Amino acid sequence: MKNPASLDELIHALRCLPGVGPRSAQRMAYHLLQRDHAGAKRLANSLDYALEHISHCEKCNNFTEEVVCELCRSERRDATLLCVVEMPADLLMMEQAHCYKGMYFVLMGRLSPLDGIGPREIHLDRLLKRTQDGVVREVVLATNFTVEGEATAHYIGELLHTKGLKVTRIARGLPVGGELEHVDSGTLAQAVIERRAI
């Protein structure tokens, strides 16, 4: 006694999703076939459509349906600033914070030698070329403050310094509304080290 072949194939195919193991894949397949045919159809269609229409922006490397994305085409952005983020979600967070009006470069990852992700995989050749357009003056490194994000920022910093560009890193410190009592000591220490005149 086995599952129908097409059910096994669906279960196997669902495992391409990150974080989905054999049991979740099975549960998902049962759910779709039993209770959500409409959702499954929609998922199949949007996968097909996205695969066909989404690629990477030639300038910022973010996902887009065009050759150069809307943000990179905008004339209301400050083209002398280039902010480097790890993932598209980080770019969206920056935009939601309404604190930055420059351009972006999305690495689509972070350096992680153990996972085989080196400078090439995060498109540092393209980043380097992007910064050499004669317009960019400052590169703002906004990778995460994780070990890998920090290493990535350090690597890019070294790379760009040799090109005579101004390179900055977004600040570490207490979150807005944060209380000293509840913040971890590493963050507090950084907040003290990076204190600024008022």
Beta carbon nearer to a copy of itself, 27 or 166: 27
Of the candidates 111, 94, 99, which has an alpha carbon nearest to the alpha carbon of residue 60? 94
Beta carbon nearer to a copy of itself, 94 or 167: 94
Token representation of residue 176: 């807005």
Q: Is 176 exposed, middle or buried (0-12, 13-18, 19+ CB in 10 A)?
A: exposed
Q: Which residue of 58, 79, 87, 170 would you call a contact of a copy of itself, by CB under 8 A?
A: 87
Give the integer Cα–Cα distance in Å for 198 and 196: 6
Interaction between residue 29 and a copy of itself (CB under 8 A): yes
Query: 104 pairs with which residues across the strands?
Result: 83
Interaction between residue 186 and a copy of itself (CB under 8 A): no
Beta carbon nearer to a copy of itself, 46 or 146: 46
Beta carbon nearer to a copy of itself, 71 or 170: 71
Q: Is 100:76 a contact under the CB 8 Å cutoff? A: no
Query: 21 pairs with which residues across the strands?
Result: none
Stretch near a copy of itself under the rule CB under 8 A, chosen from 5-13, 162-170, 175-183, 190-198 = 5-13
Give the integer Cα–Cα distance in Å for 81 and 74: 14
Residue with tokens 């990852």: 109
Q: Which residue of 49, 67, 125, 132 would you call a contact of a copy of itself, by CB under 8 A?
A: 49
Give the integer Cα–Cα distance in Å for 38 and 31: 12
Q: Which residue of 43, 68, 135, 189 would you call a contact of a copy of itself, by CB under 8 A?
A: 43
Interaction between residue 95 and a copy of itself (CB under 8 A): yes
Interaction between residue 97 and a copy of itself (CB under 8 A): no
Beta carbon nearer to a copy of itself, 14 or 136: 14
Interaction between residue 171 and a copy of itself (CB under 8 A): no
Tell me how crowded residue 134 is: count the other CB atoms within 10 A of its CB. 6
Classified as helix, coil or strand, 198 is coil
Q: Which residue of 81, 92, 144, 177 would you call a contact of a copy of itself, by CB under 8 A?
A: 92
Residues that bind a copy of itself (CB under 8 A): 1-7, 9-10, 12-14, 16-19, 24, 26-34, 36-37, 39-51, 53-54, 63-65, 69-71, 87-89, 91-92, 95, 108-109
